[in-house]
Structure 1
Amino acid sequence: MTRRHLTFACEGATLVGTLDIDGASHGTGLLIVSGGNELRAGAWSGQAQLATRLAHAGFPVFRYDRRGVGDSEGENLSFRGALPDIAAALAAFRSAAPHLSRIVAFGNCDAAAALMLFGAELQVDGLVLANPWTIDGEEAPDAMPASAIRSRYLGKLASPREIWRLLSGGVNLGKLARGLRTAAGHSPAHAGLAQDMKAGLDAFAGPVAILLASRDRTAQMFEEAWGGEDPRIARIDSASHSFSDEAAREWLHARLVEALTR
């Protein structure tokens, strides 16, 4: 397996990418789209490790820093402005590995949101979308979704200690009331972005997998905005947004191999 670092252009800026490839590689490759301000190596170098493992299995992997992040020049325009970056990376991947006949794109968090918004405009053959981001504008990123609050309060009601705290005055009643109001409803207006993501994904003709770490807040917010009945959703019982625990790492790897061999 070899690892090559290369540069490519995106609207006047020079971007940096990394290609992991084995000599006897398959005709299907994986494009990893990084989210937020994350470097192409990923949190805890998870994307680099994933790329190495998949390349050893014969699947070339290309990952890159989008504009304004890591080694790449330019201004970071967030996931809403990431279409030119993804398209440029895809072209660089095809140029560096011209034998590829099929490319699957994978993104976590707002990279997944970007692929949902723009996948139909990209020449990719499949999408793997992990813990998609559904917060737009000025929404608080650490807001707890109503479903998670309901689960939290149900757990408290099952605890004799918490019931005693309530009866003895050890609970802030104002905070409790606010929490119960939120738990009784739905999370706030993710609707605009979620609707845009649905419209974008509806226009995509290839296979789609949506992967959720069920105890991750971003995944919980996605389910509140999206609905949990989508047959393309698969879940693992993990709180790791980046699939960092061993079981989640193995599960993610298996789901990606499924998408690459479909």
Structure 2
Amino acid sequence: MKRLPLTFACEDSTLAGTLDTAPASVGLLIVSGGNEIRAGAFSGQAQLATRIQKAGFPVFRFDRRGVGDSGGENRGFRKSRKDIVAALDAFRAMAPQMNRVVGFGNCDAASALMLAKGAGCDALVLSNPWTIEGDDDAIPPPEAVRARYAEKLKNPKELARLVTGKVDLGKLARGIAKAALPKSGPSSLAQEMKAGLETFDGLVRILLADADRTAQAFASTWDSADERVTYCKGATHAYAEPHAREWLYQQLLAALRA
């Protein structure tokens, strides 16, 4: 098994990708979120690919247009369908033994897969999908604020900070006012994502890190009875915690083996 850097075409641009070879007939396509390069934050996606490869499954990662080593214009996650399709085509060409590909994305990469109706993948693992309209500094919805304060109230250290005057009372008051607002309705982005996913007929797993505000915002707009949703307790957005990294790995293995 090898790790192979390669390039492939997407319209008139040249994109960079990395293939971890393995013999299985099922492969994992990792779609990066935000403007993150294919290695992931602190090489997290590269490390995940190594583990998946060692389990016998080929893995393909890539930089979309205008990101990392790829040329072209960065058009954002909403317009990345062609990038994902081109990467999937390159993956299938480089690993012709595959008859099934699982697409995996975290944050707006999950959103991109939903908007793209799976982009040709056979199954999807969607982690902490981004549903907040606007930029990364957007104010979280009331549900996320309430969840955050609920966790703080369970933490003796946070209560001690409040009693000893180490909490910004103005900020606290603004947070309480935000938390008191009624439940927010689904954003137009969330509605578009839901519509896109409804046309996808493959296996879908939705993974949510319960300490992540992006996941909390998604959960506030999604059907709470959806059996495809699974939570990782105590996990943050990038699954940085050791137990969360292992949980994510096992979830991906389950999807590949399904």
One fold, TM greater than 0.5?
Answer: yes
Structure-1 residue corresponding to 2:72:
74
**2:211 aligned partner:** 215
The answer for the alignment partner of 2:201 in structure 1 is 205
8 Å CA contact retained: 2:235, 2:244: no
Aligned partners of 1:135 and 1:190 also within 8 Å: no
CA 33–57 in structure 1, closer or farther in 2 if over 3 Å, else same: same
Task: For 1:213 and 1:123, locate their aligned partners in 2 and report how far apart those are by CA, in whole Å.
Answer: 26
Query: Does 1:133 pair with 2:126?
Result: no
Q: Equivalent residue for 2:257?
A: 261
Say what the alpha-carbon RMSD is for the aligned residues. Answer: 2.3
Alignment-mate amino acid for residue 31 of structure 1: L
Q: In the TM superposition, what is the alpha-carbon distance from 1:161 to its structure 2 partner? A: 7.1
> How big is the shift at 1:141?
3.1
Tell me the alpha carbon deviations over residues 53-73 of structure 1, each in whole angstroms, 9 at most, x when there is no partner: 111111000000000000000
Aligned residues, how many?
A: 252
Q: Is the 8 A contact 2:24 2:58 kept in 1?
A: yes
Secondary structure of 1:115's match?
helix
Q: Does 1:232 align with 2:250?
A: no
| 1:123 corresponds to 2:100 | no
Cα deviation, 1:232-257, whole Å, max 9, x if unaligned, reads: 11111234211122111110110001
5+ long unaligned stretches in structure 2: none
2:103 counterpart of 1:100: no
Unaligned runs of 5+ in 1: none
Larger Rg computed on CA atoms = 1
Question: Using a 3 Å threshold, how does the CA distance of structure 1 residues 47 and 171 change in structure 2: closer, same or farther?
Answer: closer
Q: CA deviation at 1:93?
A: 0.3
- SS for the counterpart of 2:221 is helix
Worse overlay, 194-203 or 228-237: 228-237
SS of structure 1 residue aligned to 2:125: strand
Distance between the aligned counterparts of 1:132 and 1:151, measured in 2? 17
